[in-house]
Structures are given as structure tokens and as C-alpha cells.
Amino acid sequence: MASGTLDIDLSAITANWRALDAVTPQGVRTAVMVKADGYGLGASPIATRLRAAGAEDFFVALAEEGVALRAALGPGPRIGILSGHMSGDAPILAAHNLTPMLTSRAQVARHLHELPDHPFGIQLETGMNRLGLDPQDWQAVAAEVLARGPRLLMSHMACSDDPAHPLNARQLAVFRAMTDGTGVRRSLASTGGILLGRAYDFDLTRPGIGLYGGAPFADARAVVRLSLPVVQVRALAPGQTVGYGATWTASRPTRLATVAAGYADGLFRALTNRATLYAGSVPCPLVGRVSMDLVTVDVTAAPEDLPDQLELLGAHQGIDALAQAAGTIGYEILTALGSRYDRHYGQVAA
């Protein structure tokens, strides 16, 4: 096996979804965010599994993603499209029963003109300044839109992973001012919002990263294990250098393993001389530059009988720890995992 192995634990994802669902009172539904192919882990297997666990609401970014998800899920569950109703989407939305979350007055006009009887939701802009109708636009069209029976009024929070950030309460107040009294189902919280407190619940929560084991859901179960095969091992004398640019120099006799994954597989080049891989439980530093298909690892401290694979993600190092080494966030670690891994959907940890 020349490629790395990516184990994705659907039981852990299910446990994380149930745990986040249990944070909110009964009657508050918990959706499943599977945009970007389920944060890179596989939208279809994840959604199918969570559907079996009771999830009824799914969201993706693009209508095209919704088509694939509808094929996996069948006709029942609701699938929301976060980019709303883009030009040319009408036939796809109609054919696959996808619910656009309309983002602007122009989208509202397009949708009501092109698909007047097709379900839709509305995104409201409350402080993130990314997607949605701002308060003035909403005021102008609210009466007309509410008369057409939107399925959901939603907004998204900019700082909900930081409970102390003043924008959280401000966005909550704006959202309430825009939606109180409408009688329409509402949704504000992603993973961070669920953990902020019950004022953010409304009718539907929209966790993503927490399902996949990432911050800010500190109690999440780990979901991924990434094991990378050792291609060869060599001995270096003090003074010898490693990799492109010769950025690392052995200061002592060194055993060096060359491992089959690189920046084309989501091991960011920023991890050069910064990441740790594990030989069993022994931490081994990545040394030298990350190259396209390979990294080099100082395995001097590992047992003589080196395992066939070194672990980059798993029990010893989660996505947030690796993200910190790379100067990014767990979301980007997951969505960057490449297509070359041998993917297994099963149980990662007991």
C-alpha cells in the first residue's frame, strides 16, 4: 500500500451529533452541515449515517452538492443550499427538491419569479457581513416574503467560538429584532453558538466542525486517524542536511524515515520543520521541507523495529493540534485532506 490510510469513524460522528443535539432542549432540531463534501470527510456516508440516527435537516454550500446529497439520502430529508438561488439553479433546485436559503433581495426576486411554489428559506445579515439580507433590505421585503411562507429564517455568527466576544450578543439582538413575531422557524447557532447558551437555540442548530471532532466542541470524540506509510529509512551523519533547500541539518547520528504524503495530500508546506508524527506512541519530528508527495521524519527515538506506518492524526494528535502547528484551523486541516488516501469508514477508537 503506497498511499496513506484515512480512517473516518462514523460512530464518533454520530456520537458527536447526539451530544450536540442533547445540549439543546427537546424540540430544538439539530441539522448536519456537510458542505465541502462533509468537511472533506465524505458527505454521503456521513449524511446517510446521521439520517439513520434521526437527523432530518442537512445543509451544503452549492446546489450541485445538494444533487449528490439528495441521491444519497433519498426523498425525505430537507436539504438547504447556503449559496441560495444562484442564476441558473432553478431546474436543479426543482428536480432534486433542494431548499435555497436566499441571500439577497435579488435572489428573493429571482426565486419568487422562477420557482414561485418551491420551498425556500431566508438568510439575514446580522453582523458578519458575508451573506444575507441586511435589516433595511429585510424591512423592505419582509411582508411579501412572509406571505410566501419561508421555511426558515437564519443568520450566521462571526465570533461564536469566542464566548467573550461582544459581537455575539449584538448579532443575537439584531436577529431577534428582525425575526421576533414572524412565527417562522429560526436558526442562528453553529457549533460555537450551541455552546454559547440557550438564548441562541431558536428552532434549529447547524453544527459542522463539532461533528467532526474539532474546536470549539472540546468534548468531541476524535473522528479521523491518518496513517502514512514509511517508504524508506536511512542513516544520517552529523552535518548532513535534509530535503529541498537543505533547511534541516542533523546535529547527531540520525535515523530518517521518508513517508509517503506531502502538500498535495493536505500536509501544508507550513508544517516544514514543525509537525510531529507518531511511531506507535513515540513522537517523531518532521524535519526538512514538506514536498509534494513526501515528508521526512526523524525517527531516531523510535524503536529499531519501526512500524510500517507513522500516524499524523489520531489518538496522540488531533486536528486542532496539527492545525496549530500549521498556523491554521481544524476546518482547513480536514478540507485539505487529499483524494489519494485509502479511506475507511469504521471505528477509529474503542
Active site residues: 35, 244
What is the nearest approach in angstroms of ligand PLP to the Cβ of residue 213? 11
Is 206 a binding residue for ligand PLP by CB under 6 A? The answer is yes
Confirm if 287 and 274 have CB atoms less than 8 A apart: no
Return the residues of window 70-89 that contact ligand PLP according to CB under 6 A.
82
Q: Does 209 bind ligand PLP (CB under 6 A)?
A: yes
Q: How many CA atoms lie within 13 A of 31 on its CB side?
A: 29
- Closest contact distance (angstroms) between CB of 6 and ligand PLP is 19
Asked if residue 156 binds ligand PLP (CB under 6 A), the reply is yes
Check residue 186 for interaction with ligand PLP (CB under 6 A).
no
Q: Is 156 helix (H, G, I), strand (E, B) or coil?
A: coil
Contacts of 77 (CB under 8 A, 6+ apart): 47, 51, 55, 56, 57, 58
- Which residue has its beta carbon closest to ligand PLP? 208
Cell of 104: 439577497
* CB 259, CB 228: distance < 8 Å: yes
Q: Are strands 282-285 and 276-279 parallel, antiparallel or unpaired?
A: antiparallel
To which residue does cell 500500500 refer? 1
Least Å distance, CB 105 to ligand PLP, is 19
Residues 87-126 that bind ligand PLP (CB under 6 A): none
Taking the complex as a whole, the smallest distance from the CB of residue 261 to ligand PLP amounts, in Å, to 25
Name the residue nearer to ligand PLP (CB basis): 122 or 242: 122
Other residues' Cβ atoms within 10 Å of the Cβ of residue 332 = 16
Taking CB under 6 A as the rule, does residue 208 contact ligand PLP? Answer: yes
Report how many residues bind ligand PLP under the rule CB under 6 A.
Answer: 12
Of 14, 191, 254, 296, the one binding ligand PLP by CB under 6 A: 191
Does position 13 interact with ligand PLP (CB under 6 A)? The reply is no
- 3-state SS, residue 55: coil
| Nearest distance, CB of residue 42 and ligand PLP, angstroms | 16
Q: Note whether 290 and 284 are within 8 A (CB).
A: no
Q: Whole-angstrom Cα distance, residue 59 to residue 206?
A: 8
| 33: contact with ligand PLP by CB under 6 A | yes
Note whether 269 and 253 are within 8 A (CB): no
Residue 230 interacts with ligand PLP (CB under 6 A): yes or no: no
Which residues are near ligand PLP by CB under 6 A?
A: 33, 35, 82, 156, 190-192, 206-210
